[in-house]
Amino acid sequence: MAMINTEMPVNMPLTSSISSKRHLTIADCDAIDLAKEFGTPLWVLDEETIRENCRKYKKEFQKHHTDAEVVYASKALSNTAVLQIVTSEGLGIDVVSGGELYTAKMAKVAPEKIYFHGNNKSASELEEALDYGVGRIVVDNLQEIEKLTRIATEKNKQVNILLRVNPGIEAHTHEFIQTGKVDSKFGFSKEVLADIVQKVQGIPCLQFCGLHVHIGSQIQETKAFLLTIEEILDTWSLVRRKTKAELKELNLGGGIGIEYLPTELSPQIEHFARDITKTLEYKIKELKIPKPKLIIEPGRSIIGKAGITLYTVGTIKDIPEVRKYVCVDGGMADNPRPITYGAAYDAVIANKILEPKNDVVTIAGKFCESGDILIKNFHLQKAEEGDILAVFSTGAYNYSMSSNYNRFVKPAMILVNKGKAKVILKRENYEDLVRNDLPL
């Protein structure tokens, strides 16, 4: 396929280009052809972008810290094909529910590569985790210690655990996705950590391996992560003197942001890895503690920019001197982030990508909520009914948080690579909507 040579914005998949037809292409697949073949709304994932991000994370962290493991936070996007891709690149998998664990099992993820998180794990979820032999259970609270002890004792199993600690760091991100500040449902407070470690040391079926921290999501600067390392290791130094325990593993969670807009600047993986490992090295030398294994859990920064969503333009409503609405055939059910977080996105008309963005419009969905707005007051090419709109950076948390609101079916998801497209998630149909309904 002939291409027009032009530099593409940073918020698009790595393989993005423009064809001789002046259409957007991803991995040599014409977006207009994809929309015709698979229908819209359509989630499109670029395999090369996913793999390149996985490789870059592994390379950069292991370059600076040889005992480092990269674990994909599957809550960003969990389905069988995606987990197969990231594990084939050597990453572990972070799961937070029985459903995510089951998906990992279906993807044949090695159990020792699975980290099981969650602030309110049920007894049945813990049983499933122990039966599968997951590598680490990240313990979040005292009740979970008691529950896990009972289940492990009954099953005669020893469990490797990390303790999740709330570092008291408030990352600069939306309050709904801050998880490390003092007022949080997640983790043990620093003040009780020594007592918790001592308690775990007295339980034969629990093997204390280390600590886990996670301060939030879509964080656009590294300072909060560096402060977290210093804070958690200062805390650990005091705990170590009191308990004589060693910190074999330090899991720093995930959370670095991506560019949703072409004008944004997010931390680059190589700089993030360098700064994290440099701070860790400095701090362990200062405190004279053994170097722990380093674990990092990226999600959005692996999958986010690999995804785009294709929509078909329908109604165009122009209210003079007020607003021009361009309505598409999806919206808040396939992307709830704008109505939930006020998240911002970038888009183009895929079949008019080289035309000037002279129209100021609001991209509206077709759901029965006035707040069903994907992008507000946005410069776009002149839209007409039947055009294909491409919204960028939709790989993370769109499918994961999608719904059947208004009894809409969920879109299909396709994986594109080297000019070929493969369905990795079937489009739902009306029968799927009523499959679990029981009539009177």
- State both tokens at 63: 């370059």
The verdict on whether 205 is a catalytic residue reads no
402 contacts 10 by C-beta, under 8 angstroms: no
Give the 3-state secondary structure of residue 349.
strand
How crowded is residue 76: how many other Cβ atoms within 10 Å of its Cβ?
A: 24
175's CB contacts (< 8 A; 6+ apart) are: none
DSSP H or E segment with residue 333: none
Helix and strand numbers, DSSP H then E, in the chain: 12, 22
Give the 3-state secondary structure of residue 311.
strand
236 contacts 228 by C-beta, under 8 angstroms: no
Give the 3-state secondary structure of residue 180.
coil
- Calpha distance 44→421 (Å, rounded): 9
- Calpha distance 342→374 (Å, rounded): 9
- Calpha distance 15→408 (Å, rounded): 31
- State both tokens at 354: 């080289």
CB contact burial 243-261 (16+ within 10 A = b; e otherwise): bebebbbbbbbbbbbbbbe
Give the 3-state secondary structure of residue 388.
strand
201's CB contacts (< 8 A; 6+ apart) are: 208, 243, 245
Specify burial of residue 433 (Cβ count, 10 A radius: 0-12, 13-18, 19+): middle
Residue type (1 letter), 358: N
| Dmax (CA) of the chain | 72
Nearest to 359 by CA among 394, 389, 393, 392: 389
- Calpha distance 360→377 (Å, rounded): 6
- Calpha distance 154→148 (Å, rounded): 10
Tokens 């004589």 identify what position? 244
How crowded is residue 402: how many other Cβ atoms within 10 Å of its Cβ?
A: 19
Q: Name the catalytic one among 29, 205, 209, 368.
A: 368
Residue type (1 letter), 177: I
The residues assigned a catalytic role are: 368
